Structure 1
Amino acid sequence: MKQQIKERPWALQRIVFDRLWQHTKGRDAQGRPVRVAVIDTGVDDTNPQLAEAVEAKHGADLLGKGKDADPKAPTDGTYDPVGHGTKVAGIIAARPRPGTGFVGLAPEALIIPIRQNDEKGTGNVGTLTTAIGKAVAAGADIINISQDTARPVPEDSRLAQAVREARRKNIVVVASAGNDGFDGRLRKTYPAAYEGVLAVAASDRNNERAAFSQSGDFIGVAAPGVDMVSTVPKGGQCVDNGTSFSAPYVAGIAALLRAEHRDWKESQIVAQIEQTAERSVNGRDSFVGWGVVDPVRALTEDDRPLDHARADDGPPRAAPPDPVTPVDGETPQKRMERYATYGLGSGGVAVAVIAGVAVIRRDIRRRTAASAAETATAPPQVNE
């Protein structure tokens, strides 16, 4: 039975939409919609909130349907038996609909669906590389990648080259930081850690790092990633957790900024989001980057473009919420490990990452079984 969530989700309650959308909902001054490529498990456009949001003619399916699939299933990226990509797309561009308080942050943007992964972890670094190329060729303005691998992928790899080419075409690349942060260790994940990619961590209702969210010096910003409401295949909504859903929250903001400022460089859109984030320190840290995104500030304090985010003068903009009593003399690393230990009691959270060969882990309680499926593979040649 389809679930229709009537209430406005908490991650949207903090937004004054009249101010956020005072100039645009995802279309520029010429009426052209911003186009956001969702590289994921596909995007099911039969959900009524996505029916007019998905540009299937430019979509792609890099996996095929498989022997167990419905033979009538589409091959344009709108086949999503997992549902993950459909949730990601909804957070960006779901249209308003009577009976639900959920709506995408940029409800007049268009989604380009690119299916490159499934519940079996069929996708890998090679298919992700090809998917980025497809997004560039389709004319995307923003690319959202809600997947990651902790296995190092060097700067001279085809994946890194594909990211650089997207940025060279002035495309904003947004990527999730990953959900393996429970152990408290700082580590890089890819493609989020590549230069110029806006890496997004997950925050909770208190604007703290969500316990599962990966931390590291590559984090650009954090965004809500706990109890996130979004669209599911066929219709209705569900609730899920993960940096997978923080990244599209930021991609939605980026889409609004691109609609408002077609002349800005992709790096300037990234800098605007980072500079206007709500901070608990004056600069950047390894937990939430430059802070938790503030959609309204990003769209209203935009008089001039910035080349990069900078530290604030004076006291922090917001007092740092801290659910755990501070410990005197504690190093940042020890503090991180303590937060991670605190987070372990919060129960299972759904995750979706590519780890090694893009294994999707659907629940933290299945982490052990899922991680056994990780293997190393050489990226295949990119065929565009």
Structure 2
Amino acid sequence: MGAAPPAFAGEAGPVGLDGSGECTFPMKKQIEGAPWPLQRVLLDELWQDTKGKGVRVAVIDTGVDNDNPQLKAAVDASAGKDLLKPDKEAGSDDKRGRTDGTVDEVGHGTKVAGIIAARPREGTGFVGLAPESTIIPIRQNDEKNSGNDRTMAAAIDHAIAKGAQVINISQDTTKPLTTQSPLGQAVQRALDKEIVVVASAGNDGLDGKLKNTYPAAFPGVLAVASSDRNNERAAFSQAGEFVGVAAPGVDVVSTVPGNGQCIDNGTSFSAPYVAGVAALLKAKFPEWKAHQIVAQIQQTAERAINGRDDYVGWGVVDPVRALEADPAHPPQAPQADPGPPKPPAPEPAHLAMTETPQERRERYATYVLGIGVVLVAVISGTAVVLRDTRRRRAH
């Protein structure tokens, strides 16, 4: 089955899925090796304190298929919700009749969930960054372009009600939305509950123009751009003043409905990479506030400049470094690197208008010595002249 088109029209839309959707499923074979984003992470070091156990991550998307073996134990179907399917349709033995958010006919949400919480499985090197965390599946979009900002707002409220500690939204709309819009208010309700809200920046960056996408651009949301293997912004990744960090979004491996994995591209798959790190931080530092977790991810990101820019934000997320923190001193906001120490300022040259006392004494001493030498020469010369004169007279 193919994936859906990238844009979804809706009542207040459009709301788009931030992935290219260029893979099919189910897959008969697994991808054996570790994908490149995981090759850069020392997983033993990353997981030395926690694998995210007990942390609940809501995936607001096209649903999350829990038939994939790597997601069976990860998905809490009892907490899930299908906002596109009335509850009266429930009761069918066919999975398509479920209203618990575990129907994913697009595959998008299943990929997102896998990057966060896929369990290890023999035969593949792919695993989620927080493989003991729990996924709350919330379906609010589909292959029929049904999602909009109002269903997304309802999905956020459901996530809050079901105890989500992290919310991942790999969708966006370019329609200008204020903080007083239904979606803006829903995001604020989540932030008020100290929930970390992570959202993809969007895939419309090829034109190079800066623009806001929502919900990523709402204050307090950690907006994630895509980076490539060189830690540079992926060409499609939307740039803007709202971008917080970047994460791998090119040739990303993840789970698909039914079985196996596939490779895809998009900021959709960068956001859950960061959400997985947020889940680990929630587990390791349960007393930290949401903004402190966001600041830690931003502060520890790998960057090419001393501060942030509009393309990769504060840099490309570094999962291991993010987990290295003093629990008693969480960051409140990211700070620019101090950079190398500045060399001391050169001391101004002393321009003397007159000689110093020392110089004057030395000059006088030179004069005295010179005069003394001259006097000695004169006296010696005079003595010689007088002696010669006397000798001539005597003769």
In the superposition, the TM-score normalised over structure 2's length comes to 0.77
2:47 corresponds to 1:26: no
Query: Over residues 296-349 of structure 1, what are the superposed CA-to-partner deviations in whole Å (9 max), with x where a residue is unaligned?
Result: 000123442011001001159xxxxxxxxxxxxxxxxxxxxxxxxxxxxxxxxx
- Asked whether the equivalents of residues 112 and 272 of structure 2 are also in contact (C-alpha less than 8 Å), the reply is yes
2:70 corresponds to 1:49: yes
1:193 is matched with 217
1:311 is matched with 336
Q: What is the CA-CA distance between 1:214 and the residue it aligns to?
A: 0.1
- Asked whether the equivalents of residues 26 and 107 of structure 1 are also in contact (C-alpha less than 8 Å), the reply is yes
2:243 corresponds to 1:243: no
1:122 is matched with 146
Give the 5 Å matches for 1:219-238: 219-238=243-262
- Asked whether the equivalents of residues 282 and 315 of structure 1 are also in contact (C-alpha less than 8 Å), the reply is no
Change (3 A) 1:301 1:83: same
- Asked whether the equivalents of residues 114 and 254 of structure 2 are also in contact (C-alpha less than 8 Å), the reply is yes
Query: Over residues 127-179 of structure 1, what are the superposed CA-to-partner deviations in whole Å (9 max), with x where a residue is unaligned?
Result: 00100000000110000000001110112111111000000001000000000
Query: Over residues 182-206 of structure 1, what are the superposed CA-to-partner deviations in whole Å (9 max), with x where a residue is unaligned?
Result: 0000000000000000000000000
- Asked whether the equivalents of residues 95 and 103 of structure 2 are also in contact (C-alpha less than 8 Å), the reply is no
2:240 is matched with 216
Partner Cα distance (2:268, 2:145) in 1: 15
2:124 is matched with 100
Partner Cα distance (1:181, 1:315) in 2: 33
**SS of residue matched to 1:114:** strand
More displaced, 151-160 or 138-147?
Answer: 151-160
2:159 is matched with 135
Q: Which amino acid aligns with 2:47?
A: W
Partner Cα distance (2:177, 2:238) in 1: 17
For residue 297 of structure 1, the aligned residue among 308, 321, 334 is 321
Query: Over residues 74-116 of structure 1, what are the superposed CA-to-partner deviations in whole Å (9 max), with x where a residue is unaligned?
Result: 2100000110000000000000000000000000000000000
Partner Cα distance (1:178, 1:135) in 2: 22
Partner Cα distance (1:272, 1:239) in 2: 29
Q: Could you say which structure has the larger radius of gyration?
A: 2
**SS of residue matched to 1:143:** strand
**SS of residue matched to 2:100:** coil
Larger helix proportion of the pair? 2
**SS of residue matched to 1:122:** coil
2:304 corresponds to 1:283: no
2:13 corresponds to 1:13: no
**SS of residue matched to 2:138:** strand
Q: What is the CA-CA distance between 1:119 and the residue it aligns to?
A: 1.4
**SS of residue matched to 1:220:** strand
Partner Cα distance (1:126, 1:293) in 2: 30
Q: What is the CA-CA distance between 1:38 and the residue it aligns to?
A: 0.0
Q: Which amino acid aligns with 1:224?
A: P
Q: What is the CA-CA distance between 1:64 and the residue it aligns to?
A: 1.5
- Asked whether the equivalents of residues 47 and 235 of structure 1 are also in contact (C-alpha less than 8 Å), the reply is yes
- Asked whether the equivalents of residues 200 and 268 of structure 2 are also in contact (C-alpha less than 8 Å), the reply is yes
1:156 is matched with 180
Q: What is the CA-CA distance between 1:72 and the residue it aligns to?
A: 4.1
- Number of aligned pairs? 310
Partner Cα distance (1:105, 1:86) in 2: 15
Partner Cα distance (1:302, 1:285) in 2: 27
**SS of residue matched to 2:137:** strand
Partner Cα distance (2:338, 2:313) in 1: 17
Structure 2: any 5+ residue segments left out of the alignment?
A: 1-26, 342-395
Partner Cα distance (1:154, 1:83) in 2: 30
For residue 253 of structure 1, the aligned residue among 271, 277, 283 is 277
- Asked whether the equivalents of residues 111 and 254 of structure 2 are also in contact (C-alpha less than 8 Å), the reply is yes
- Asked whether the equivalents of residues 272 and 302 of structure 1 are also in contact (C-alpha less than 8 Å), the reply is no
Q: Which amino acid aligns with 2:246?
A: A
Partner Cα distance (2:128, 2:102) in 1: 18
| Percent of paired sites with the same residue | 69
Change (3 A) 1:22 1:72: closer
**SS of residue matched to 1:173:** strand
Change (3 A) 1:21 1:126: same
Q: Which amino acid aligns with 2:101?
A: G
1:272 is matched with 296
Partner Cα distance (2:163, 2:293) in 1: 18
1:89 is matched with 113
Structure 1: any 5+ residue segments left out of the alignment?
A: 28-32, 317-384
Partner Cα distance (1:130, 1:295) in 2: 31
Partner Cα distance (1:149, 1:70) in 2: 35
2:257 corresponds to 1:206: no
Change (3 A) 1:37 1:12: same
